[in-house]
Protein backbone atom coordinates (compact mmCIF):
# COMPACT_ATOMS: atom_id res chain seq x y z
CA UNK A 1 0.00 0.00 0.00
CA UNK A 2 2.90 2.39 0.71
CA UNK A 3 6.66 2.09 0.76
CA UNK A 4 8.55 0.34 3.52
CA UNK A 5 10.23 3.63 4.38
CA UNK A 6 6.94 5.18 5.40
CA UNK A 7 5.90 2.05 7.28
CA UNK A 8 9.08 2.32 9.34
CA UNK A 9 8.58 6.02 10.02
CA UNK A 10 4.86 5.82 10.81
CA UNK A 11 5.39 5.39 14.54
CA UNK A 12 7.41 8.61 14.59
CA UNK A 13 4.29 10.50 13.57
CA UNK A 14 2.28 9.40 16.62
CA UNK A 15 2.95 12.66 18.44
CA UNK A 16 1.07 11.53 21.54
CA UNK A 17 4.07 9.37 22.42
CA UNK A 18 5.84 12.64 23.21
CA UNK A 19 3.68 12.92 26.34
CA UNK A 20 4.84 9.54 27.68
CA UNK A 21 7.58 10.90 30.01
CA UNK A 22 5.03 13.07 31.82
CA UNK A 23 2.50 10.23 31.91
CA UNK A 24 5.05 7.79 33.37
CA UNK A 25 6.08 10.26 36.06
CA UNK A 26 2.41 10.86 36.87
CA UNK A 27 1.83 7.11 37.25
CA UNK A 28 4.93 6.60 39.39
CA UNK A 29 3.86 9.42 41.71
CA UNK A 30 1.26 7.03 43.11
CA UNK A 31 3.97 4.71 44.48
CA UNK A 32 6.88 7.02 45.31
CA UNK A 33 7.16 9.92 47.70
CA UNK A 34 6.91 13.54 46.60
CA UNK A 35 10.64 13.98 47.20
CA UNK A 36 11.56 11.29 44.67
CA UNK A 37 8.83 12.52 42.30
CA UNK A 38 10.48 15.96 42.22
CA UNK A 39 13.93 14.44 41.61
CA UNK A 40 12.59 12.10 38.92
CA UNK A 41 10.74 14.79 36.97
CA UNK A 42 13.66 17.21 37.29
CA UNK A 43 16.13 14.56 36.11
CA UNK A 44 14.02 13.54 33.13
CA UNK A 45 13.52 17.19 32.19
CA UNK A 46 17.23 18.02 32.27
CA UNK A 47 18.41 14.82 30.56
CA UNK A 48 15.63 15.11 27.98
CA UNK A 49 16.58 18.68 27.15
CA UNK A 50 20.15 17.77 26.28
CA UNK A 51 18.91 14.75 24.34
CA UNK A 52 16.72 17.05 22.26
CA UNK A 53 19.80 18.94 21.08
CA UNK A 54 21.04 15.82 19.30
CA UNK A 55 17.55 14.79 18.28
CA UNK A 56 17.13 18.03 16.33
CA UNK A 57 19.61 16.68 13.78
CA UNK A 58 17.11 13.95 12.87
CA UNK A 59 14.39 16.48 12.00
CA UNK A 60 11.68 14.85 14.09
CA UNK A 61 8.98 17.21 15.30
CA UNK A 62 10.02 18.63 18.67
CA UNK A 63 6.75 20.43 19.49
CA UNK A 64 5.13 17.96 21.90
CA UNK A 65 8.34 16.37 23.32
CA UNK A 66 9.83 19.73 24.27
CA UNK A 67 6.52 20.91 25.69
CA UNK A 68 6.47 17.76 27.82
CA UNK A 69 9.93 18.51 29.20
CA UNK A 70 8.81 22.02 30.17
CA UNK A 71 5.78 20.51 31.91
CA UNK A 72 8.04 18.13 33.88
CA UNK A 73 10.29 20.97 34.99
CA UNK A 74 7.24 23.02 35.98
CA UNK A 75 5.78 20.07 37.91
CA UNK A 76 9.02 19.56 39.84
CA UNK A 77 9.00 23.26 40.76
CA UNK A 78 5.33 23.36 41.80
CA UNK A 79 5.57 20.08 43.71
CA UNK A 80 8.66 21.21 45.54
CA UNK A 81 7.14 24.57 46.51
CA UNK A 82 3.89 22.93 47.64
CA UNK A 83 5.76 20.45 49.86
CA UNK A 84 7.93 23.23 51.24
CA UNK A 85 4.82 25.17 52.24
CA UNK A 86 3.09 21.99 53.49
CA UNK A 87 0.27 22.58 51.03
CA UNK A 88 -1.54 19.45 49.79
CA UNK A 89 -2.36 19.63 46.08
CA UNK A 90 -3.29 16.70 43.81
CA UNK A 91 -0.55 15.85 41.32
CA UNK A 92 -2.94 16.04 38.39
CA UNK A 93 -3.45 19.77 38.97
CA UNK A 94 0.30 20.36 39.00
CA UNK A 95 0.54 18.51 35.66
CA UNK A 96 -2.56 19.78 33.86
CA UNK A 97 -2.09 23.48 34.65
CA UNK A 98 1.40 23.91 33.08
CA UNK A 99 0.38 21.56 30.26
CA UNK A 100 -2.60 23.80 29.50
CA UNK A 101 -0.43 26.95 29.53
CA UNK A 102 2.31 25.48 27.34
CA UNK A 103 -0.08 23.85 24.85
CA UNK A 104 -2.13 27.05 24.62
CA UNK A 105 1.01 29.07 23.94
CA UNK A 106 2.26 26.59 21.33
CA UNK A 107 -1.12 26.27 19.60
CA UNK A 108 -1.67 30.03 19.39
CA UNK A 109 1.88 30.90 18.33
CA UNK A 110 2.18 27.98 15.85
CA UNK A 111 4.96 28.92 13.36
CA UNK A 112 6.27 31.62 15.74
CA UNK A 113 6.61 29.19 18.64
CA UNK A 114 10.37 29.02 19.47
CA UNK A 115 10.64 25.30 18.66
CA UNK A 116 8.79 25.71 15.35
CA UNK A 117 10.78 28.80 14.38
CA UNK A 118 14.07 27.02 15.04
CA UNK A 119 12.91 24.05 13.00
CA UNK A 120 11.83 26.32 10.12
CA UNK A 121 15.21 28.08 10.13
CA UNK A 122 17.00 24.74 9.89
CA UNK A 123 14.74 22.75 7.55
CA UNK A 124 12.52 25.33 5.83
CA UNK A 125 8.84 26.13 6.16
CA UNK A 126 6.14 23.52 5.67
CA UNK A 127 5.65 24.48 2.03
CA UNK A 128 9.33 23.76 1.32
CA UNK A 129 9.24 20.24 2.72
CA UNK A 130 8.46 16.81 1.42
CA UNK A 131 5.18 15.04 1.94
CA UNK A 132 6.33 13.07 4.98
CA UNK A 133 7.60 16.10 6.92
CA UNK A 134 4.66 18.29 6.04
CA UNK A 135 2.30 15.62 7.38
CA UNK A 136 4.38 15.44 10.53
CA UNK A 137 4.23 19.20 11.13
CA UNK A 138 0.52 19.45 10.45
CA UNK A 139 -0.35 16.50 12.66
CA UNK A 140 1.82 17.79 15.50
CA UNK A 141 -0.06 21.09 15.62
CA UNK A 142 -3.39 19.31 15.29
CA UNK A 143 -2.59 16.97 18.19
CA UNK A 144 -1.32 19.90 20.24
CA UNK A 145 -4.80 21.40 19.89
CA UNK A 146 -6.31 18.18 21.25
CA UNK A 147 -3.79 18.19 24.11
CA UNK A 148 -4.90 21.74 24.90
CA UNK A 149 -8.52 20.63 25.08
CA UNK A 150 -7.68 17.57 27.19
CA UNK A 151 -5.55 19.58 29.62
CA UNK A 152 -8.32 22.16 30.02
CA UNK A 153 -10.95 19.47 30.68
CA UNK A 154 -8.72 17.64 33.15
CA UNK A 155 -7.82 20.83 35.04
CA UNK A 156 -11.38 22.16 35.23
CA UNK A 157 -12.99 18.84 36.25
CA UNK A 158 -10.40 17.89 38.87
CA UNK A 159 -10.26 21.43 40.26
CA UNK A 160 -14.02 21.51 40.68
CA UNK A 161 -14.00 18.12 42.39
CA UNK A 162 -11.07 19.05 44.65
CA UNK A 163 -12.60 22.39 45.72
CA UNK A 164 -16.23 21.39 46.20
CA UNK A 165 -16.66 17.59 46.31
CA UNK A 166 -13.42 16.25 47.76
CA UNK A 167 -13.76 13.90 50.74
CA UNK A 168 -10.83 11.92 52.17
CA UNK A 169 -13.14 9.02 53.02
CA UNK A 170 -14.21 8.53 49.36
CA UNK A 171 -11.09 6.76 48.14
CA UNK A 172 -12.71 5.29 45.03
CA UNK A 173 -14.04 8.65 43.82
CA UNK A 174 -10.79 10.42 44.65
CA UNK A 175 -8.72 7.88 42.72
CA UNK A 176 -11.05 8.11 39.74
CA UNK A 177 -10.91 11.91 39.41
CA UNK A 178 -7.25 12.35 40.37
CA UNK A 179 -5.83 9.32 38.58
CA UNK A 180 -8.01 7.28 36.23
CA UNK A 181 -9.89 10.18 34.62
CA UNK A 182 -6.79 11.99 33.25
CA UNK A 183 -5.18 8.69 32.25
CA UNK A 184 -8.31 7.72 30.30
CA UNK A 185 -8.14 11.02 28.43
CA UNK A 186 -4.56 10.28 27.38
CA UNK A 187 -5.42 6.73 26.31
CA UNK A 188 -8.30 8.06 24.20
CA UNK A 189 -5.96 10.59 22.59
CA UNK A 190 -3.36 7.91 21.88
CA UNK A 191 -5.90 5.51 20.33
CA UNK A 192 -7.48 8.29 18.27
CA UNK A 193 -4.15 9.46 16.88
CA UNK A 194 -3.01 5.92 16.02
CA UNK A 195 -6.21 5.38 14.04
CA UNK A 196 -5.85 8.81 12.43
CA UNK A 197 -2.24 8.15 11.38
CA UNK A 198 -3.19 4.86 9.74
CA UNK A 199 -6.11 6.42 7.85
CA UNK A 200 -4.14 9.47 6.71
CA UNK A 201 -1.19 7.43 5.48
CA UNK A 202 -3.40 4.88 3.80
CA UNK A 203 -4.97 7.81 1.92
CA UNK A 204 -1.74 9.57 0.98
CA UNK A 205 0.46 6.57 0.15
CA UNK A 206 -2.00 4.09 -1.22
CA UNK A 207 -1.70 3.02 -4.85
CA UNK A 208 -5.40 3.29 -5.64
CA UNK A 209 -6.51 6.41 -7.60
CA UNK A 210 -7.46 9.31 -5.37
CA UNK A 211 -7.83 12.95 -6.42
CA UNK A 212 -7.00 14.35 -2.98
CA UNK A 213 -3.93 12.16 -2.63
CA UNK A 214 -2.71 12.97 -6.14
CA UNK A 215 -3.15 16.71 -5.64
CA UNK A 216 -1.35 16.63 -2.30
CA UNK A 217 1.58 14.62 -3.59
CA UNK A 218 1.87 16.78 -6.72
CA UNK A 219 2.07 19.93 -4.62
CA UNK A 220 4.63 18.56 -2.20
CA UNK A 221 6.98 16.73 -4.61
CA UNK A 222 7.57 19.82 -6.72
CA UNK A 223 11.00 18.62 -7.80
CA UNK A 224 9.32 15.59 -9.35
CA UNK A 225 11.61 13.21 -7.50
CA UNK A 226 10.17 10.37 -5.52
CA UNK A 227 11.41 9.85 -1.95
CA UNK A 228 14.61 7.86 -1.85
CA UNK A 229 16.34 9.51 -4.85
CA UNK A 230 19.18 11.95 -4.26
CA UNK A 231 18.19 15.04 -6.22
CA UNK A 232 17.95 18.75 -5.57
CA UNK A 233 15.66 21.36 -7.10
CA UNK A 234 17.70 24.45 -7.97
CA UNK A 235 15.63 27.62 -8.44
CA UNK A 236 16.96 30.95 -9.74
CA UNK A 237 15.26 34.14 -8.57
CA UNK A 238 16.37 36.89 -10.96
CA UNK A 239 16.54 40.31 -9.28
CA UNK A 240 17.69 43.77 -10.33
CA UNK A 241 17.06 46.99 -8.49
CA UNK A 242 13.69 46.62 -6.80
CA UNK A 243 12.26 44.21 -9.39
CA UNK A 244 12.07 40.48 -10.10
CA UNK A 245 11.98 38.80 -13.48
CA UNK A 246 9.16 36.26 -13.68
CA UNK A 247 7.66 34.08 -16.36
CA UNK A 248 4.35 32.34 -16.89
CA UNK A 249 5.94 29.78 -19.24
CA UNK A 250 9.23 28.05 -18.64
CA UNK A 251 12.19 28.00 -20.98
CA UNK A 252 13.51 24.59 -20.01
CA UNK A 253 12.00 21.28 -21.01
CA UNK A 254 11.46 20.14 -17.47
CA UNK A 255 8.85 17.40 -17.01
CA UNK A 256 8.46 18.59 -13.43
CA UNK A 257 7.63 22.19 -14.25
CA UNK A 258 5.17 24.18 -12.17
CA UNK A 259 1.62 23.08 -13.02
CA UNK A 260 0.27 26.66 -13.04
CA UNK A 261 1.00 30.20 -11.98
CA UNK A 262 3.68 32.83 -12.56
CA UNK A 263 7.02 31.57 -11.30
CA UNK A 264 10.77 32.08 -11.58
CA UNK A 265 12.07 31.66 -15.14
CA UNK A 266 14.63 28.95 -14.39
CA UNK A 267 14.51 25.95 -12.09
CA UNK A 268 15.69 22.42 -12.66
CA UNK A 269 16.03 19.18 -10.77
CA UNK A 270 19.69 18.15 -10.66
CA UNK A 271 21.34 15.09 -9.10
CA UNK A 272 23.69 15.51 -6.19
CA UNK A 273 27.26 15.26 -7.36
CA UNK A 274 30.74 16.40 -6.45
CA UNK A 275 29.90 19.81 -7.91
CA UNK A 276 28.52 22.27 -5.41
CA UNK A 277 25.03 23.74 -5.72
CA UNK A 278 26.58 27.16 -6.41
CA UNK A 279 28.22 25.72 -9.52
CA UNK A 280 24.94 24.17 -10.64
CA UNK A 281 23.15 27.51 -10.21
CA UNK A 282 25.83 29.33 -12.22
CA UNK A 283 25.63 26.68 -14.92
CA UNK A 284 21.87 27.15 -15.19
CA UNK A 285 22.27 30.92 -15.41
CA UNK A 286 24.86 30.58 -18.17
CA UNK A 287 23.06 27.91 -20.18
CA UNK A 288 19.44 29.03 -19.81
CA UNK A 289 19.77 32.80 -19.48
CA UNK A 290 23.12 33.32 -21.27
CA UNK A 291 24.56 35.36 -18.41
CA UNK A 292 28.36 35.43 -18.29
CA UNK A 293 30.00 35.38 -14.86
CA UNK A 294 26.66 35.42 -13.03
CA UNK A 295 26.48 36.90 -9.55
CA UNK A 296 24.86 34.17 -7.48
CA UNK A 297 23.99 34.05 -3.81
CA UNK A 298 22.15 31.32 -1.92
CA UNK A 299 18.98 32.66 -0.32
CA UNK A 300 18.07 29.52 1.57
CA UNK A 301 18.25 25.76 1.31
CA UNK A 302 15.38 23.57 2.47
CA UNK A 303 15.90 19.92 3.23
CA UNK A 304 12.65 19.16 5.04
CA UNK A 305 14.64 16.79 7.22
CA UNK A 306 15.09 14.49 4.22
CA UNK A 307 18.76 14.04 3.21
CA UNK A 308 17.70 12.51 -0.11
CA UNK A 309 16.28 15.69 -1.62
CA UNK A 310 16.47 19.42 -1.11
CA UNK A 311 15.33 22.72 -2.60
CA UNK A 312 18.02 25.35 -3.15
CA UNK A 313 16.77 28.91 -3.66
CA UNK A 314 19.37 31.12 -5.37
CA UNK A 315 19.34 34.85 -6.12
CA UNK A 316 20.75 35.94 -9.49
CA UNK A 317 21.75 39.63 -9.31
CA UNK A 318 21.84 41.79 -12.45
CA UNK A 319 23.22 45.31 -12.61
CA UNK A 320 21.51 46.03 -15.93
CA UNK A 321 18.17 44.53 -16.87
CA UNK A 322 19.11 44.69 -20.54
CA UNK A 323 21.71 41.97 -19.88
CA UNK A 324 18.87 39.46 -19.70
CA UNK A 325 17.53 38.11 -23.00
CA UNK A 326 13.82 38.55 -23.62
CA UNK A 327 11.87 35.43 -22.85
CA UNK A 328 8.34 34.54 -23.94
CA UNK A 329 5.60 35.45 -21.45
CA UNK A 330 8.15 37.02 -19.09
CA UNK A 331 8.58 40.54 -17.74
CA UNK A 332 9.89 42.52 -14.79
CA UNK A 333 7.68 42.86 -11.74
CA UNK A 334 8.41 45.73 -9.37
CA UNK A 335 8.26 45.19 -5.63
CA UNK A 336 5.23 47.46 -5.21
CA UNK A 337 3.28 45.50 -7.80
CA UNK A 338 4.20 42.20 -6.19
CA UNK A 339 3.26 43.45 -2.73
CA UNK A 340 -0.21 44.33 -4.02
CA UNK A 341 -0.82 41.08 -5.92
CA UNK A 342 1.27 38.37 -4.21
CA UNK A 343 -1.71 37.07 -2.21
CA UNK A 344 -3.62 36.36 -5.42
CA UNK A 345 -3.88 33.05 -7.22
CA UNK A 346 -1.88 33.93 -10.33
CA UNK A 347 1.50 33.24 -8.67
CA UNK A 348 2.85 29.77 -8.05
CA UNK A 349 2.62 28.93 -4.36
CA UNK A 350 6.34 28.13 -3.99
CA UNK A 351 7.28 31.51 -5.44
CA UNK A 352 4.95 33.19 -2.95
CA UNK A 353 6.88 31.58 -0.13
CA UNK A 354 10.20 32.61 -1.67
CA UNK A 355 9.13 36.20 -2.26
CA UNK A 356 7.72 36.72 1.23
CA UNK A 357 10.88 35.23 2.71
CA UNK A 358 13.07 37.41 0.47
CA UNK A 359 11.23 40.62 1.34
CA UNK A 360 11.29 39.92 5.05
CA UNK A 361 14.99 39.08 5.03
CA UNK A 362 15.83 42.10 2.84
CA UNK A 363 14.08 44.50 5.18
CA UNK A 364 15.93 43.07 8.16
CA UNK A 365 19.36 43.34 6.52
CA UNK A 366 18.54 46.82 5.17
CA UNK A 367 17.41 48.03 8.60
CA UNK A 368 19.89 46.34 10.98
CA UNK A 369 23.44 45.09 11.05
CA UNK A 370 24.46 41.68 12.39
CA UNK A 371 24.47 42.95 15.98
CA UNK A 372 20.99 44.47 15.82
CA UNK A 373 22.07 48.11 15.47
CA UNK A 374 20.21 50.35 13.02
CA UNK A 375 21.94 51.10 9.70
CA UNK A 376 21.93 54.61 8.26
CA UNK A 377 21.71 54.84 4.46
CA UNK A 378 21.57 58.65 4.03
CA UNK A 379 18.64 58.75 1.62
CA UNK A 380 19.68 55.75 -0.45
CA UNK A 381 16.76 53.75 -1.84
CA UNK A 382 16.47 50.04 -1.24
CA UNK A 383 17.43 47.60 -4.00
CA UNK A 384 17.81 43.84 -3.92
CA UNK A 385 21.40 44.29 -5.16
CA UNK A 386 22.21 45.56 -1.68
CA UNK A 387 22.06 41.92 -0.52
CA UNK A 388 24.94 41.09 -2.86
CA UNK A 389 26.97 44.14 -1.88
CA UNK A 390 26.89 43.13 1.78
CA UNK A 391 29.30 40.37 2.68
CA UNK A 392 26.75 38.46 4.76
CA UNK A 393 25.43 34.94 4.85
CA UNK A 394 21.76 35.06 3.81
CA UNK A 395 21.11 31.52 5.01
CA UNK A 396 22.06 32.26 8.61
CA UNK A 397 19.20 32.12 11.09
CA UNK A 398 20.74 35.03 13.02
CA UNK A 399 18.83 37.53 10.88
CA UNK A 400 15.50 36.37 12.26
CA UNK A 401 16.92 36.59 15.76
CA UNK A 402 17.97 40.14 14.89
CA UNK A 403 14.41 40.89 13.77
CA UNK A 404 13.18 39.87 17.22
CA UNK A 405 15.99 41.48 19.20
CA UNK A 406 17.31 44.77 17.81
CA UNK A 407 17.86 48.44 18.63
CA UNK A 408 14.17 49.19 18.18
CA UNK A 409 13.33 46.92 21.13
CA UNK A 410 13.51 48.35 24.65
CA UNK A 411 14.97 45.11 25.99
CA UNK A 412 17.91 45.51 23.60
CA UNK A 413 18.84 48.87 25.06
CA UNK A 414 18.64 47.53 28.62
CA UNK A 415 20.97 44.66 27.77
CA UNK A 416 23.41 47.01 26.04
CA UNK A 417 23.39 49.29 29.09
CA UNK A 418 24.26 46.38 31.39
CA UNK A 419 26.94 45.25 28.93
CA UNK A 420 28.61 48.66 29.00
CA UNK A 421 28.30 48.79 32.78
CA UNK A 422 29.97 45.40 33.09
CA UNK A 423 32.78 46.42 30.74
CA UNK A 424 33.41 49.63 32.68
CA UNK A 425 33.48 47.78 36.01
CA UNK A 426 36.07 45.23 34.84
CA UNK A 427 38.08 47.58 32.67
pLDDT at 237: 92
226, 208 contact by CB (below 8 A): no
What DSSP string runs through 290-314? --SS-EEEEEEEE-TT-TTEEEEEE
Domain match, 14 and 129 both: yes
**Which residues form the domain of 69?**
4-204
pLDDT at 179: 93
Is 424 domain-assigned? Answer: no
- The SS3 call for residue 282 is helix
Q: How distant, in Å, are the alpha carbons of 50, 81, 84, 104 from that of 45?
A: 9, 17, 21, 20
pLDDT digits (tens, 9 = 90+) for 318-370: 988 888 887 778 899 999 899 888 877 788 877 888 898 899 889 889 988 88
pLDDT at 5: 39
pLDDT at 12: 43
d(CA 270, CA 283): 11
Domain match, 41 and 171 both: yes
Q: How distant, in Å, are the alpha carbons of 6, 92, 127, 216, 383 from that of 222?
A: 19, 46, 10, 10, 30
Is 392 domain-assigned? Answer: no
Is 406 domain-assigned? Answer: no
Is 360 domain-assigned? Answer: no
pLDDT at 270: 77
List the chain residues with pLDDT less than 70: 1-13, 50-60, 121-134, 203-231, 249-260, 272-276, 302-309, 421-427
Domain match, 104 and 243 both: no
pLDDT at 180: 94
pLDDT at 305: 45
Domain match, 48 and 163 both: yes
Domain match, 85 and 168 both: yes
Please tell me the pTM assigned to this model: 0.60
Q: How many alpha carbons fall within 13 Å on the CB side of residue 22?
A: 31
pLDDT at 227: 40
Residue that is last in its domain, among 311, 344, 377: 344
Is 120 domain-assigned? Answer: yes
Is 398 domain-assigned? Answer: no
Residue 187 — φ and ψ, nearest 5°?
-60, -40
Is 356 domain-assigned? Answer: no
297, 394 contact by CB (below 8 A): yes
pLDDT at 105: 92
Residue that is last in its domain, among 295, 320, 344: 344
Please count the structural domains in the chain: 2
242, 334 contact by CB (below 8 A): yes
Length of the chain: 427
CATH of the domain at 252: 3.90.79.10
Domain match, 196 and 302 both: no
Is 379 domain-assigned? Answer: no
d(CA 259, CA 222): 9
Q: If we measure between CA atoms, which residue out of 283, 252, 245 comes closest to residue 266?
A: 252
What DSSP string runs through 160-192? HIIIII--TT-HHHHHIIIIIHHHHHHHHHHHH
Domain match, 198 and 232 both: no
* Cα–chain center distance at 3: 25
Amino acid sequence: MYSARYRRNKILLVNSFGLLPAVLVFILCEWISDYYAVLLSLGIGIVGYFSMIGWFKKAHCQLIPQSTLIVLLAFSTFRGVADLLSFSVPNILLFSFPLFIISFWAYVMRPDYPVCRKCAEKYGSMNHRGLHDRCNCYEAHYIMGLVLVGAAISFVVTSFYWLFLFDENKETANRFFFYWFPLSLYVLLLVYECIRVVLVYDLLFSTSPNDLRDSYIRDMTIDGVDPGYKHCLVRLIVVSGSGLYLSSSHIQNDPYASPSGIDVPVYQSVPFSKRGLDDEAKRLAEEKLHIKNPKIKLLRESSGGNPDKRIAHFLLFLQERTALPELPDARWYEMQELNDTITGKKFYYLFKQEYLYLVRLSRIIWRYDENGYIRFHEGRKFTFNYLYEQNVNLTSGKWFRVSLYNEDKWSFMIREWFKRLRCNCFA
